Structure 1
Amino acid sequence: MAAEQETAKGVDALIARLRHDGVAAGTAEAERLVADAQAEAARIVADAEDAADRTRAEAKRAADRYARAGEEALNTAMRDAVLTMKSTLMAQFEQDVQRMVSAEMSDPEMLRRMVLELVGRAGQAASVGEGASVILPAEVVGPEAITANADDIQSGALTKYVLGLAQEKLKAGVTLYAASDLHGGIRARAGDDGVALDLSDQAIAALLMQHLQPRFRAVLEGVIK
């Protein structure tokens, strides 16, 4: 009987130890699994945060690139617009100068004074020599004057009354001509091989633009940045 009791106690003790050891082992395994799960979760969270940081950084870089590209495009467009405006204003200014000069130098009275200044007997300015020719705009001379000189139509010479100038008012040998390609001002030549003088509206306007263009450009640079 005593032996059986001892055996029963040993079995109970073994069962209790096994139960204790099993619970401890299970608890340890559970704790290990929990720790592994937590570590894995932490790694996943860290990877996700890194990926999110990379995504945000790339998005910021892309946004910066787009912003720079947009700013550069805007600056280029503004620069082109300014250049176009300056070019347009310069061309308009040149046209205005040409128009004003043409209007002034198409005036018959102005042409008359120019002819007298050049070849008049009054000696107000240096005259051209014998055999000189003075070319006037045909549209200013008018069809009546050209018709009145029909006897000289082959040579184009206007040896009679033109712009209120009779031939006797001019120096001997000076002949007036009309040219359809001249719209304002006059041209003169001292003989066939002599010095040519271009006082046409285009030549005067070009000379004025050489003087005025740098100043007008400086004004544009100061006003339009």
Structure 2
Amino acid sequence: MHVRNGADRQLGWERRTELPLLVASVLFLFCYAVRVLNQGSDPFWRDLAMAVALLIWLLFAVDYGVRLVLSDQGLRFVRTHWLDTVVLVLPLLRPLRMVNTYETLQRRRDRPRLSLYARVMAYAGITSVLLSFAAALAVYQQERDAPGATIVTFGDSVWWACSAITTVGYGDVTPVTPLGRVFAVFLMACGLALLGAVTGSFSSWLIQVFAREDKERPPGSAGSPGV
């Protein structure tokens, strides 16, 4: 189905919905946390959190469907927007879309408020925190009642997530369930990618600073080339 001015309408849709969807993403994570951590005798809050989380996921699905139609790409949209597809199937990975949110918001300004290196490090830091928290919840849900589990409290799970995403891996607490280990592998892979992004950006920033200082140093001064 062809949509007239689909690209412009898609861009307008993304601009209008990006912030509300970001708030919905945080609310989804909060509802999931209530569902996992609230183990009291009264199931009302857990059921309410589950209902709200399903409604938010439905909102994500509607947004995905609207953008698919407006893109006028058909099934090719699934391939070109693979991250959106993965996030729709696994909503806990919504923090990975933060870079898309940032780019959409920056289109509203003439120039970014932060430099490229600061943006990369800020994005990597916030994404690391949100992914670690989501992974800690998911692993705790799988591990807490498993036979021979070493992750028996949410504190254990948070400690494991911090050591996994920083690639330290103390090994004092580890997942024992198959799904828990899948989450572990994914978190470690994300940790390597984010650590590489931060390290590379910091190194590039240092090189840029030193190169600028060399250019600004007067000829013949101490430490300049040829002296």
Normalising by structure 1, what TM-score?
Answer: 0.24
Larger relative contact order, structure 1 or 2 (CA cutoff 8 Å, min sep 6) = 1
Normalising by structure 2, what TM-score?
Answer: 0.24
More strand by share: 1
More helix by share: 2
